[in-house]
Amino acid sequence: MDFELRQAREKLEREQRERVQRAKAKVERERRAKAEAARRRDALEASHRERRLDAARAQEEADHKMEEVMLQSKGFSFSHMFEALRYDGPGDKIKLPPSSFKELSDEGALDKGPMYFKLLKVRDRVPGTSQEQDAEEATCCGVLEFTAKEGSAELPPHVWNNLFRSDSSDVPLIEVRYVSLPKGTYAKLKPEGAGFSDLPNHRAILETALRNHATLSENDVVVVHYGQLRYKLKVLELKPASSVSVLETDVEVDIEGSDSVLGNEENQHVLVPLAIGKVESSVVEEGKFRYYKFSVEDGVSEKVSSGHANIEVKVDTDSSGGDTDIYVSRHPLVFPTQHRHEWSSHEMGSKVLILKPRDASLVSGIYSVGVYGFKGTSKFQLSVDIKDANSQRVGEHASASSSVDADTALCKNCKRHIASRTAPLHEAYCLRHNIACTHDGCGVVLRKEEAVDHVHCNKCGRAFQQREMEKHMKVFHEPLQCPCGVVLEKEDMCMLGENQLMFETVFETCVSMRVSVDPGLHLVTPVTVCYAEGNGHSCNCCASEELIIKCLLAALS
């Protein structure tokens, strides 16, 4: 009986515990369900709240953008998306489709003077993007014509490179806004490489390049062409705004010094200062130049002009490793080359070059020396000295005043006048050991063992040693191609270079007098019209005589 009661009691207690556990589990499930419902409700409310905030921010940004557009365009709104395409052309003027012309014309933008536009890259907005980052992806420009296809805008290299500095998109999207820009009063630029300040009248060259531009913007890079050379200058500061108009205004230009090192091997068109009387040592690779510059002051100029002194350029080359040539010019020819120079020396090994200006009034000034690596990698030492010429002049006068002794006989072999009493012995010895060169116009007398090494060029007739002939043929008779397409030998090409040099002098005068002259005319640039007359060559890229006279008359008028 007690056993049955105990089992019944245990069963009842067990059932009660199970009911309590089920009740607790039910309460916990209900609590979790309520918590999940509350979480979902909060998340939904937060999502709706974020959407409302995004919409408010987008509306605020659109309103701000519209206010900015209206402010920059002085009440006129023009803002469109275009596909950006490239076209080759100078300056910063873009091409827009005809529909843009109609819209701008209908709004009266054509009556407000030159039209300026702000270009922005269209990209996905990233939260937290600063205004500075947005400014780096924008630039300003003018308009050239309205001939682009609908839905696209054509950009010249200057605008393209400044807007898409690191973008690799094939057809990127841009936003074009009509803006009103103030006239610029001040611009500070800085060359990205060395050498720009060495150009004669480099400020005038920069101003001439800016004539192709309608606007300037801070952080833009302006490319200046000087012949076949390109110089990049970054716009650091503008006044009175970060983007200005440069049309019909006088802009004060300040050019900062470059941070580039003069010894940069990647840029060979850099002039290293060379002090007179000091030696500069360096290395030049085959086919490349090392350029130096030195100045001749007025005091030294007077001595050279009067003939009491000479300008001597000396190059000592380590012939074991290679060979060099030297080319010298007076500015405005800044970088002398094989076919554009005033003085040159092509002797093998070390060489000395005496500079004798054709015009005595043009001695003073800045000179450039180009050391060219003719063969191999060459170590050299370069120096410029002013040498006294008095001793040389005395010798010249003495030799000129000398006379032939009457009691002499002419040697049939060497053609020298020998004392009559020793003439037979001399002539016998001379015939046995010496030989005269039979080349027309030469007649030099050589030892027979040396005569084998004495040769004449079959083209120009000059005399050389056998080892020098290969270099002579390569330097003087290897055809050179002018960028206009005509192929000439060195001497004919140098005649062409003399015309260029004369025009560059005229051009320097013109730019200093602010006469409008196309800077591309005084340098070698690709052309389509040229002609050859006799041994000379002229083309409109190389400054024909007619063009030089025309430019000079324009400068003097």
Q: Which CATH number characterizes residue 247's domain?
A: 3.10.330.10
Q: Is residue 261 part of a domain?
A: no
Q: What is the pTM of this model?
A: 0.59
Same domain, 460 and 484: no
Q: Which pLDDT score is estimated for 301?
A: 82
pLDDT of 435 strictly over 50 = yes
Q: Which of 1-5, 273-277, 403-407, 486-490 is the most confident on average? A: 273-277
Per-residue confidence (pLDDT) for residue 490, from 0 to 100: 58
Write down the number of H helices and E strands in the chain: 12, 31
Please give the pLDDT value at position 240.
92
pLDDT of residue 427 exceeding 50: yes
Higher-pLDDT residue of 529 and 77 is 77
Q: Cβ contacts of residue 396 below 8 Å, gap of 6+?
A: none
- Whether residue 88 sits in one domain with residue 50: no
Average pLDDT estimate for 151-159: 94
Strands of 229-239's sheet, edge to edge? Answer: 221-226, 229-239, 186-191, 252-255
Q: Quick check: is 221 in a domain? A: yes
Please tell me which of 154-158, 294-298, 503-507 the model is most confident about, judged by mean pLDDT.
Answer: 154-158
pLDDT for position 265: 46
Q: Which of 208, 308, 286 is nearest to 253 (CA)?
A: 208
Backbone angle region of 201, left / alpha / beta, with phi > 0 → left and psi within -120 to 50 → alpha? left
For the sheet with 378-388, list strands across it: 279-284, 378-388, 309-317, 351-355
Q: Is 362 inside any structural domain?
A: yes
Q: Is the pLDDT of residue 31 over 70?
A: yes
Print the domain residue range for 418.
401-464
- Does 151 share its domain with 220? no
- pLDDT tier for residue 143 given thresholds of 50, 70 and 90: very high
Best mean pLDDT range from 47-51, 65-69, 476-480: 47-51
How many structural domains are present in the chain? 6
Q: What is the pLDDT of residues 91-124, one digit of tens each?
A: 999 999 999 999 999 888 888 889 999 999 886 5
Q: What is the pLDDT of residues 180-201, one digit of tens each?
A: 899 999 999 999 887 888 887 8
> CA 330, CA 429: separation in Å to the nearest integer?
51
Q: Is 368 left (phi over 0), alpha (psi -120 to 50) or beta?
A: beta
Q: Quick one: 204 and 225 in the same domain?
A: yes
Is 473 contained in some domain? no
pLDDT-derived band of residue 303, with 50, 70 and 90 as boundaries? confident
Per-residue model confidence (pLDDT) at position 358: 66
Statement to judge: residues 388 and 405 lie in one domain: no
Regarding whether 101 and 204 lie in a shared domain, the answer is no
Say if CB 336 and CB 329 are below 8 A apart.
yes
279 and 226 together in one domain? no
Where is the domain boundary, 194, 224, 255?
255
Among the ranges given (30-39, 101-110, 489-498), the one the predictor scored with the smallest mean pLDDT: 489-498
Both 194 and 281 in one domain: the answer is no
Q: Are residues 502 and 550 in the same domain?
A: yes
Same domain, 282 and 300: yes
For 354-401, write each residue's pLDDT tens digit: 887 766 666 788 899 999 888 888 888 999 998 887 654 433 333 333
474 domain residue, yes or no = no
Report the chain's mean pLDDT, rounded to a whole number.
77
282: closest CA among 342, 326, 230, 346? 326
Q: So what's the pLDDT on residue 216? A: 94
Per-residue model confidence (pLDDT) at position 378: 84
Range with the poorest average pLDDT among 103-117, 229-243, 337-351: 337-351
On whether residue 469 sits in a domain, the answer given is no
Domain C-terminal end among 179, 210, 232: 179
Domain boundary among 392, 414, 438: 392
pLDDT class for 515, splitting at 50, 70, 90?
very low
- Over residues 472-477, mean pLDDT: 69
517-543 pLDDT, tens digit each: 444 333 333 222 232 333 333 333 444
Can you spell out the DSSP letters for 473-542?
A: HHHHSS-EE-TTS-EE-HHHHHHHHHHHHHHHHHHHHHHHTT----GGGGS----S-EEEETTEEEETTS
> What pLDDT was estimated at residue 87?
93
Question: What CATH number is attached to the domain comprising 173?
Answer: 2.40.40.50
Residues 384 and 278 grouped into a single domain? yes
Beta strands in 99-165 (DSSP E): 116-121, 138-145, 152-155
| Position 282 in a domain | yes
Band of pLDDT at residue 406, cut at 50, 70 and 90: low
Do the domain assignments include residue 475?
no
Residue 508 has pLDDT above 70, yes or no: no
Same domain membership, residue 427 and residue 516: no
3 state SS of 204: helix
Asked if the model's pLDDT at residue 202 lies above 90, the reply is no
